[in-house]
Amino acid sequence: MAALLSPSLSIPPHNKVNPISVGTIAATTPSSRNFQPIVRNGRSLGYHQMTKAKMSVEADVKVSISVEPVDETTDYGVVSMHHVGILCENLERSLDFYQNVLGLKINEARPEDKLPYRGAWLWVGSEMIHLMELPNPDPLTGRPAHGGRDRHTCIAIRDVSKLKEILDKAGIPYTLSRSGRPAIFTRDPDANALEFTQVDS
């Protein structure tokens, strides 16, 4: 692949006379239909991604990009995380925290009367948190002081320092990442640990 992206590339024609000098190559974006299985001795070893690269001499070249092997016996099409379920003792108290402190918005399209308990769905980017007013089997005391050492939900954000100001203003305790990376840990009113990690936009 590195050779294909170099400034100059020589491709000998079929008769091996006068090699063609090729300049910049612009590769088209591959689609999922361009994956071809790698099969050896009757066993699937993964996939090659095939795409076309167009050269200045208007010749099409097939480019093979190796991707991680896929075990077809366990590949059931994971797309993304859809939602995280968080237990709460009092829905209104939790909504006050998640909406008014963290600024999350309710997904009005999700029905709240279809389940035998109270709850709410909150948007976190394109995924959601499902607050469920149910008894929490976890102890509320004796939890680790640092949420990174406990079960936690991690939310990607753009500005940890801004969230730190918000939590300080609300009087909500937190700890910073022990590794030194830009991340902050806090707990909701039911002691559920939350991590907020800063990512590039």
**CATH entry 3.40.605.10 includes domain 83-198:** no
Select the highest-mean-pLDDT range: 25-39, 52-66, 138-152.
138-152
- pLDDT tens per residue, range 43-95: 554 554 554 444 444 455 555 565 667 788 888 999 999 999 999 999 999 99
Mean pLDDT of the chain: 79
Whether the pLDDT of residue 127 is over 80: the answer is: yes
Instruction: Please state the rounded mean pLDDT for residues 120-134.
Output: 97
pLDDT of residue 17: 46
pLDDT of residue 114: 86
Burial class for 123, CB neighbours closer than 10 Å (0-12, 13-18, 19+): middle
As a whole number of angstroms, the distance between CA 139 and CA 133 comes to: 16
Q: 192 is written with which tokens?
A: 């559920």
- pLDDT tens per residue, range 162-193: 999 999 999 999 999 989 999 999 999 999 99
Separation of CA 49 from chain center = 22
Whether the pLDDT of residue 105 is over 60: the answer is: yes
Where, residue-wise, is CATH 3.10.180.10 in the chain? 83-198
